[in-house]
Amino acid sequence: MSAEHLRLGVNIDHVATVRNARGGAYPDPIRAARLAEAAGADGITAHLREDRRHITDADIEGLMAALSVPLNFEMAATDEMQRIALRHKPHAVCIVPEKREERTTEGGLEVAREENRLAHFIAPLREAGCRVSIFIAADKKQIEAAHRIGAQVIELHTGAYCDAHAEGDFQARDRELEALREMSAFAHSLGLEVHAGHGLAYDTVQPVAAFPEVRELNIGHFLIGEAIFLGLEPAVRQMRRLMDEARA
Ligand code: PXP
């Protein structure tokens, strides 16, 4: 297959983390979203967590009003989040597992075990015109279940691949990468659009960006960290350049 344009979704959650460390309004995630957009982001991702530890309801409202690229609204499968998504009708909704005690989204969603509930949960979101994405591990059972419940998109969790790379366990890293490669092709063969993300950085992005079935990468923490050293626009531009290079 020919490699179509690989979209970059910039996750701005951690601009809000820094803001919330002091309260107040600075730094403003919406200003960051606009800069990311100017630097070549194809979309902005924001996760409204149940405990509002970073992004707030007002941020989602502000992003919906300010963005000219699509918003990918990450949320847990709760009634409260469904109501918020149905009020804003963002371009995309990404359903993620959420545990209060975790530092970040640790694993993928257990779709297979909750098929019925999730099928009912996403139906109104689809009817409202949102593209529904399910964040899952590179696991055939979960991909098949995501397909059965009517999701249009899956996002593959790249955390285990990135962790293995960071730990220098290259055998595990290559195993994880191979699973991501195989499962991208499998999901695509079912007609699902394939996205990927979590933990990606300059030194891990290219092998994933090279998978022709992957249409979008969502990247946050590393880019916001790198923005401290380079500025946000150069950091996003460099990620964009690496993605394009891997795709060429
Ligand atoms: N994709 C999903 C579904 C996520 O939950 C996250 C983290 O919020 C990301 C991508 C981005 O991960 P990171 O911030 O590690 O780049």
CATH number at residue 78: 3.20.20.70
4 catalytic? Reply is: no
- Average confidence score pLDDT of the chain: 96
The 3-state DSSP class for residue 188 equals helix
Which of 45, 54, 158, 195 most suits a substitution to test ligand 1, by most atoms within 8 Å of the C-beta? 45
The 3-state DSSP class for residue 5 equals coil
Mutual orientation of helices 29-38 and 57-66 as an angle, nearest 10°?
30
In a domain, 70, yes or no: yes
In a domain, 233, yes or no: yes
pLDDT of 195 over the 80 cut: yes
- pLDDT tens for 3-35 read 689 999 999 999 999 999 999 999 999 999 999
Domain tally for the chain?
Answer: 1
Dihedrals φ, ψ of 239, to 5°?
Answer: -65, -45
167 catalytic? Reply is: no
> Which residues lie with the beta carbon below 6 Å from any ligand 1 atom?
11, 13, 47, 74, 94, 96, 104-105, 135, 155, 197-200, 218-222
In a domain, 1, yes or no: no
What is the mean pLDDT of the segment spanning 130-159?
97
pLDDT of 107 over the 90 cut: no
Nearest to 218 by CA among 235, 205, 229: 205
Residue 13 marked ligand-binding: yes
Q: What region does 236 belong to: left with phi over 0, alpha with psi -120 to 50, or beta?
A: alpha
Here the tokens at position 78 are 């709760």
In a domain, 115, yes or no: yes
Which of 71, 106, 111, 218 most suits a substitution to test ligand 1, by most atoms within 8 Å of the C-beta? 218
Which residue among the candidates 47, 88, 147, 157 is catalytic per the annotation? 47
Which residue among the candidates 157, 165, 198, 216 is catalytic per the annotation? 198
In a domain, 26, yes or no: yes
Range of the domain at 196: 7-242
End-to-end CA distance of the chain: 13
Lowest-pLDDT range of 62-76, 99-113, 147-161, 164-178: 99-113
Residue 45 marked ligand-binding: no
pLDDT of 1 over the 60 cut: no
pLDDT band of 104, cuts 50, 70, 90: confident
The residue written with tokens 């290559």 in the block is: 174
Q: What is the pTM of this model?
A: 0.96
